[in-house]
Structure 1
Amino acid sequence: MESREAAPIYGCKDDILHNILGRLPASTLANAACVSKTWHRICSHFLSRPMLASALSLNPSLLGAVEEVTEKVLSKPIRPHFAIACISEQFGLRAAHLLLSQRLGSKTPLVTHIGNGVMGTEALTNQLRESIFSEKLQVKWDYFDYQGPHPREANGFSDVSRGMVLVVGYVPGLKVDAIPLIHPKNDFGISMVDAFVRHIKAFAYSVSGNHPPAAIIIFGDRKSDMNDIVATMDQAIGKETVMVGDGGGCFLFNSRNYTINLPPDLYVLDAVALVFAKDSHKSPDVGETRFRVAMAGGLVPFGPRFEVVDVLVKGDIKWTCFSALMEGFNTMLTFEAVIETLLETVSDRRPDLYIGVSHGRRYYSGNGRLIKKVSESTSFHQVLGGEGEYFVVEGVGVRAGDTFLFYHRDLETARTTSEIAFENLTRLKQNFMGSEETVFGGLIFACASRGQSYFGTPNTDIYPFHANFPSVPVAGIFCKGEIGRSSSSSSSFVKPHESQEQAPPHCSVHASSAVYLALSYLPPP
């Protein structure tokens, strides 16, 4: 028996066994690996390279949708190292998370996230699909208020379209875990972001020594100040680390090592990070998984620069009211006058407007004159309305003394930068020619204001990736605040369109954009 176990794997009988095992679903293959040492070696052959499996379902039944996507992603040999599920709010977050945890295992790092829509390959038809769950009209020119229970505490049963996309990844050579950011429920003044960053770094260092995380996929709660959270992470975590994600949803998670030892009524989940760190103890026959980012924008700056004067934040509803001066003038202008003047330069009389706020250090001369302002970060806030001399924008983090430009959505810019993202991904593919590095999966985080209703054609956001890598699994989420930061070593991050030359120099939480994450694998020498 010992001599048979030590025999070469690919004898005649083993070739037959190899062929049979290669057709087994993930759960059956895991059981087969326990039969004998030979079977374990053959099963391990299927898991020598990283894999990404994804599936989309628009089944209106939660049970039906979970069944469709899990059957599809687990139909081939894969060992889940992490999983991401984006669902419609109407499914009910807790119920969906429980069902997915049962199928994938409670120790698999899993983020179940309520998004604004999904994209990917449909499980039943193998067709590419993009679906935005709700085409509700956005609130404009009026005060914004968030009513109703938080999605984490509610289960919805409305007639809004439903669906989900599931992504399961296997990444040998990396360690993955989900790390949460929480704060006390009754004290919104306490920030735990620094502790969040320490936990991320501690996990990375525990598995990879002095190496920073290879990548972080972040999911933020819609009531959290993700601009501030991501800006803090951007400053504290080296540029070698890729960061992508959705900053405006709602989520639950499973983690291998991190638990929250507090009753649910005492804390709030602000964000969760799926952290990918290099395993310092990986086998020498395991290659390297790499992360590359490209982006398509959609905003154009216009008008003069303004300075924030007086700020009012409305509790935990998360909108900000402020007054502003046009730089170089001392007269307060009314919201109506500013908007009317700005819209004279825009063809769309009811465009989606944003402000791009620059946060940074200011340098003054001895007589108090502003010499220069060094921008450290930029945050985008959608304009919701205004009255008199006050403007109302979505989100928090706007401070007195900040300066900002107005931005508007522009279809031509969105199309042009999508072409640039396509070209960047094409360049990435061309760079791999002649080498053994290959792309094995992709993730997309696109603004919910994009999609077919905006472009007029289906699958526009998924096209740049799928057209370059048609046989590679890809899935995406329609977001409210797309997070995207390239690593310092990546050359695939999109260059600004010429119409965006005035854009602030640095931003990690975007608006009206699409962020593409390509996962590639370089085998060992």
Structure 2
Amino acid sequence: MAAKPDMVAEVEMTDAKGVFSPAHDHVSVNILARPPAVSFASSAACVGKTWNQSCNKILSRPHFSSALSLNPDLHAALDEVLADAFSKPLRPDFIVAYIGINFSLEETHHLITEKVGPGIPVITNKAKGLIGTDVQTDKLREVVWGSTDGDSEWNENNSNQGIVLSVGYMPGLKVDVIPLLRPKNEQQLTMVDHFLMEIMDFTCAASGSLSPSCIIMFGDKNEDMNPILTILDQVMPDETAIVGDASAAFLCTRMDEAENYNKDVFSFAAAALIFARDQYKPEDIGETEFHVTVSNGIIPFGPHLKTVSVLEKHCLCSWVSAIMLGFESVVIDCYDVLMELKSQIKKPDMYIGVTQRRNYSILEKPPSSIRSLSFHEVKDGEGDFILVDGIGIKPGDIFFFYHADAENALITIDQACRKLKTLREDYEKNGREVFGGFIFSCENRGVSFFKRPGVDSKPFAMNFPGVPVAGMFGNGGEIGRGTLLGVKKNLRRNGPRSCVHAYSSVYLAMSYVPPPEAPMIIDE
């Protein structure tokens, strides 16, 4: 059928350049808004400048979408979350997926990268539980496999099978994945300085600054992330939000596939999704901000102890003996102390919180002394020694025992609710908005800990109903630092700091600040 005369005029091409006439950009915008969003995402980067400009008109504000599928079939589950997450036109700057441990990590990551096409940073991570909006019910849901969470029948038949997929478009930011490399011939060596330089080089090229706005970090479960996060905490200003999972099993793909490293030479000790401000962003694009708050689930109790000897076992655990401060001449029976303390608490999950002072040489500068706090789960004990998870403890370090406490965790959940409420109320007054978020929670929380559903997602769900959020329950070691909501900056440098938490939930809220309105010019 012949085209109508007026339609012919609207799609007329300019000269020999083969692009839509600027006078009729609204036509290309209208066309772009119609195709399936996955097609929109994969094609937007492969065509001309004018086409991209039209894409930008549709996507002038940040957009975040997330979807949860508990379908036990990987291919069906992935199709469901992709269809939901890309239900509107979206040109992703990043994709993060959490999957149940009975889904293949390699196959899932390959399918995601194949479906969305090249040029998009992707991280796929295994999880012990998921938080997201269910594609079947359109309701925010928490599932922790192996716990009694109201979905016990479903869990029994379909354990550890599901996926949360999140997609973000972040105008005004540059986003990429930067891995922390570990040479395969030297497993105890991680290239931390190289990692820091890559982050700084990427950020400087994007923003002219050395400090990114946000880092979402995934650390390999066999790597001790405490010293790495201690160094990052020292190098990065408080304004840089850092969140993530320190006990991950992940795969990642960078924006430029040529930057992916030789797998025969290197393995990845960690991967960091970097968000850096774009110094060349148009004036009509606002600012994206990142806000962090934490709900802690453990409290200290018992005597103040000092390590005497430490025996590291297979680079994964440590045997620790100690003395009690004030009674330095007597090495105590740590196992008897442990059993006595366990008899006094309801939930026997215990940790030690170790205050450390270490000298670090960062970026080839002279060594400097840094004080930090690291948590290690108590596994067992015998005689003078207790067996704890992790390495890096040294003789002379000071520690307390900590135990999980649901009542205190509920108090910190309410505190997180109030902090996010303050953010919401402030933003509502000033025409700003929270458009998405992430939750990183410990697998030992959930209904089995709180005896009721939906507690870990409550701070976000209460304050931002309908706003997409992607969450996971991990093996322990939730990463969280930054300018914490409700905490003054000058209070955060007092005492040792912990960036890797235990029995906690970490919340990252992403918000958009519109650009200031241009002043109206009135001709006299």
Q: Which amino acid aligns with 1:262?
A: N
Give, in whole Å, the separation in 1 of the partners of 2:48 and 2:334.
Answer: 74
Distance 1:232 1:134, change over 3 A: farther
Q: How does 1:230-309 map to 2 (within 5 A)?
A: 230-257=229-256, 259-264=259-264, 266-309=265-308
Q: Which of the numbers 488, 501, 512 marks the counterpart of 1:521?
A: 512
Q: Which amino acid aligns with 1:273?
A: A
2:79 is aligned with 1:67: yes
Cα distance per residue 1:382-413 (max 9 Å; x no partner)? 00001111110011111111110000000100
> Partner of 2:143 in structure 1?
131
> Partner of 2:189 in structure 1?
190
Q: Which amino acid aligns with 1:5?
A: S
> Partner of 1:55 in structure 2?
67
Cα distance per residue 1:397-442 (max 9 Å; x no partner)? 1111111000000010011110110000000011112212111101
Q: Which amino acid aligns with 1:192?
A: M
Q: Which of the numbers 371, 378, 381 marks the counterpart of 2:376?
A: 381
Say whether the 8 Å CA contact 1:424–1:493 is kept in structure 2: no
Deviation of residue 188 (structure 1)? Answer: 3.4
Give, in whole Å, the separation in 2 of the partners of 1:40 and 1:400.
Answer: 59
Say whether the 8 Å CA contact 1:292–1:492 is kept in structure 2: no
2:502 is aligned with 1:511: yes
Distance 1:87 1:34, change over 3 A: closer
Q: Higher mean Cα deviation, 198-207 or 421-430?
A: 198-207
> Partner of 1:143 in structure 2?
none
SS at match of 1:181: strand
Q: Which of the numbers 350, 375, 394 marks the counterpart of 1:353?
A: 350
Q: Which of the numbers 417, 420, 426 marks the counterpart of 1:425?
A: 420
Say whether the 8 Å CA contact 1:78–1:170 is kept in structure 2: yes
Q: How does 1:91-110 map to 2 (within 5 A)?
A: 91-110=103-122
Paired residues, number: 475
Say whether the 8 Å CA contact 1:444–1:475 is kept in structure 2: yes
Q: Which amino acid aligns with 2:143?
A: S
Say whether the 8 Å CA contact 1:308–1:323 is kept in structure 2: yes
Give, in whole Å, the separation in 2 of the partners of 1:25 and 1:494.
Answer: 45
Give, in whole Å, the separation in 1 of the partners of 2:272 and 2:188.
Answer: 22
Deviation of residue 261 (structure 1)? Answer: 3.8
Say whether the 8 Å CA contact 1:294–1:494 is kept in structure 2: no
Deviation of residue 467 (structure 1)? Answer: 1.1
Deviation of residue 285 (structure 1)? Answer: 1.2
Q: Higher mean Cα deviation, 62-71 or 332-341?
A: 332-341
Deviation of residue 2 (structure 1)? Answer: 7.0
> Partner of 2:175 in structure 1?
176
> Partner of 1:119 in structure 2?
131
Give, in whole Å, the separation in 1 of the partners of 2:54 and 2:199.
Answer: 35
Deviation of residue 23 (structure 1)? Answer: 5.4
Q: Which amino acid aligns with 1:164?
A: I
Q: How does 1:135-150 map to 2 (within 5 A)?
A: 135=147
Q: How does 1:464-475 map to 2 (within 5 A)?
A: 464-475=459-470
Give, in whole Å, the separation in 2 of the partners of 1:290 and 1:298.
Answer: 27
> Partner of 2:479 in structure 1?
483
Deviation of residue 44 (structure 1)? Answer: 2.8
Give, in whole Å, the separation in 1 of the partners of 2:461 and 2:488.
Answer: 17
Q: How does 1:5-20 map to 2 (within 5 A)?
A: 5-7=21-23
SS at match of 1:433: helix
Q: Which amino acid aligns with 1:321?
A: W
Q: How does 1:329-368 map to 2 (within 5 A)?
A: 329=327, 330-343=329-342, 346-348=344-346, 351-360=348-357
Q: Which of the numbers 458, 461, 466 marks the counterpart of 2:453?
A: 458
Q: Higher mean Cα deviation, 102-111 or 181-190?
A: 181-190
Say whether the 8 Å CA contact 2:40–2:89 is kept in structure 1: yes
Deviation of residue 29 (structure 1)? Answer: 3.8
SS at match of 1:90: coil
> Partner of 1:325 in structure 2?
323
Give, in whole Å, the separation in 1 of the partners of 2:251 and 2:331.
Answer: 45
Deviation of residue 471 (structure 1)? Answer: 2.0
Distance 1:33 1:254, change over 3 A: closer
Distance 1:128 1:388, change over 3 A: same
Give, in whole Å, the separation in 2 of the partners of 1:439 and 1:89.
Answer: 31
Q: Which amino acid aligns with 1:322?
A: V
Q: Higher mean Cα deviation, 503-512 or 52-61?
A: 503-512
Cα distance per residue 1:188-224 (max 9 Å; x no partner)? 3323212211111111111111251000000011100
Q: Which amino acid aligns with 1:175?
A: K
User: Could you list the runs of 5+ residues in structure 1 that have no partner in the other structure?
Assistant: 137-157, 363-373, 496-502
Distance 1:283 1:87, change over 3 A: same
Give, in whole Å, the separation in 2 of the partners of 1:89 and 1:134.
Answer: 12
Deviation of residue 327 (structure 1)? Answer: 1.2
User: Could you list the runs of 5+ residues in structure 2 that have no partner in the other structure?
Assistant: 1-11, 15-19, 149-156, 360-368, 517-524
Say whether the 8 Å CA contact 1:486–1:493 is kept in structure 2: no
> Partner of 1:199 in structure 2?
198
Say whether the 8 Å CA contact 1:295–1:494 is kept in structure 2: no
SS at match of 1:123: coil
Q: Which amino acid aligns with 2:485?
A: S
Q: TM-score, length-normalised on structure 2?
A: 0.84
Give, in whole Å, the separation in 2 of the partners of 1:474 and 1:482.
Answer: 17
> Partner of 2:366 in structure 1?
none
Q: Which amino acid aligns with 1:328?
A: G
Distance 1:522 1:509, change over 3 A: same
Q: TM-score, length-normalised on structure 1?
A: 0.84
Say whether the 8 Å CA contact 1:293–1:492 is kept in structure 2: no
Give, in whole Å, the separation in 2 of the partners of 1:40 and 1:256.
Answer: 17
Give, in whole Å, the separation in 1 of the partners of 2:146 and 2:182.
Answer: 30
Q: Which of the numbers 72, 81, 85 marks the counterpart of 2:93?
A: 81
Deviation of residue 35 (structure 1)? Answer: 9.6
Q: Higher mean Cα deviation, 189-198 or 52-61?
A: 189-198
Deviation of residue 107 (structure 1)? Answer: 2.3
2:37 is aligned with 1:26: yes
Q: Which amino acid aligns with 1:394?
A: D
> Partner of 2:520 in structure 1?
none
SS at match of 1:524: coil
Identity of aligned residues (%): 43
Cα distance per residue 1:263-321 (max 9 Å; x no partner)? 43x433210000111111111111111001111111110011111111111124x1111
Give, in whole Å, the separation in 2 of the partners of 1:302 and 1:36.
Answer: 63
